[in-house]
Structure 1
Amino acid sequence: MTSEPSLFDRSLQRRRLIRALRSETGYSDFLLSRVVEDLVDRLAAVKRNFNVMLDLGTPVPAVAAALSRLNPAGSVVRASPVSGPEGRGTVAADEELLPFARESFDLVASILAMQNVNDLPGAFVQVRRILKPDGLFLAAFFGGETLKELRAAFAQAESEIDGGISPRISPFVDLRDLGGLLQRAGFALPVADVDRVTVRYGSPLSLMRDLRGMGLTNTLTERSRRPLRRATLLRACEVYFERFADKDGRLPATFDILWLSGWAPHESQQKPLRPGSARTRLADVLQDRSLPPLPDHKA
């Protein structure tokens, strides 16, 4: 029996992340810090205590620290594919193979860690398995149209200079797919939304430097092994300016942060109505003249 080929080289991903964490400038955490603040706001709106919590795969311990502040009496486990100088007490774990017992956690939170998982539905199933009944899964990762400008610039440059296109930017999951994936994994009350962040740069090279600082350079299994030609890189930078520069000459870079949440099923949760149990007919509602008219559609 042969397994399906992996989209991402997970070993290379770990090496790139280790390089970012151990570089002189350290991990580039400006986006992660923003997302962690959003995580805290979202959890603050949930009126319950989570006593046993898991920080799954987040590159630095910022999420574990935030969870500890939210519930000082609770316990937090940090699971990471890499260990660093702050790694004491961290469980070595991969998002694709979780080493935890069934129904171990009240909350699993994962920030900017799951965008390069090969088997995302399988990872969701594993998270569902380790959640206690009525436990919450809350995650944020890059998706949608993230880095669309850089992708387009490289595609045009390679087409012009090299006569063909090789994958330079990883494909990202679409927001519309996430709710269905959570349902298939057995989650109740699935919700998915997107936070679009636009970061402006002075040059594409500054953007690429930040991507290296986040460990987000190309780790596709089918990536080109040939070194990037200087002429191709320079043309990609020119295309970026030509097609996307703002009026002040700054360059926008799009990051779509996909948020998803789902609950491990529990009898206390809301249930959908049984077919045929509604007490009001749709026809009666449509005939109610007190309802406001639909607005005109203008092209």
Structure 2
Amino acid sequence: MSIATKSSETRDEYTFTDEDFRVIAQLVKNKYGLFLQESKRALVYSRLAKRIRALGFNNFREYCKLLGSPAGEAEQSHLLTALTTNVTHFFREKHHFDQLQNEILPTLSQAARSGETVRIWSAACSAGQEAYCLAATVLEVFPEAPRFDFKILATDVDPVVLKKAKKGQYPREERDAIPADRIARMVDPQSVNDGVFAMHHSLRELISFGQLNLMEPWPMRKRFDVIMCRNAAIYFDKSTQMRLWSRFGEILKPGGYLMIGHSERLSGPAAAKFESAGITSYRKTHAN
């Protein structure tokens, strides 16, 4: 399937004009920070044609009209789900979890034992695998973490994947990504049936899930020791990325860590407040 970029319309199943693309691109940019270049037009068509078909519309103009109406709020969530790729798995980019286990968590566990608040944020948790891996890593280093003020916040803008994260159930084939020596800690032994498995209750005790749009005000009052936001900023343009890095810097404690995706790089004014601490891992060096 190809989408014309010079003509005002396509020759595919549904009419998709330049104005339709502009409306969709502007909406997701304003609300979610997503940057849709003209080169993404074919992707937008292929992803959204399914929604138009499911809704019984005849063209993209009718779909855009729904998105802009008071009744379109719910559909905007489907739009977001369609346009973003929630590809993740357990212990993705394992080097971050190794760094947590070997370098960061021993210090944070001592801080918790001394009465300090410890907070870790999975800022684009998708279907939850990252958050559960964080909890498993914490419990390996600090088994008594639930007895202290030690919490993991896991947020995502997409309510569809967040529902999956809260449920904590995954297809059996995803279990292959969990190291054999961690399965007993992470997987509820009573849950492995009907082709799925569930996360162990001990992991759930450490995690609070919530919907959060990174482009909007953040309600958190306490600063974080570690923020993971991996492979989310790739959807943003450079200026939006730089604002996001700065906001993360503001809500991190001095000495706190920011971990980002393998194809992302810290940039803009925030870069002066961090030092490299590993592969796509940065440590905040400024007190403010």
TM score, norm. by length of structure 2: 0.29
TM score, norm. by length of structure 1: 0.28
Greater share of strand: 1
Return the structure number with greater relative CO, CA threshold 8 A, min gap 6: 1
Greater share of helix: 2
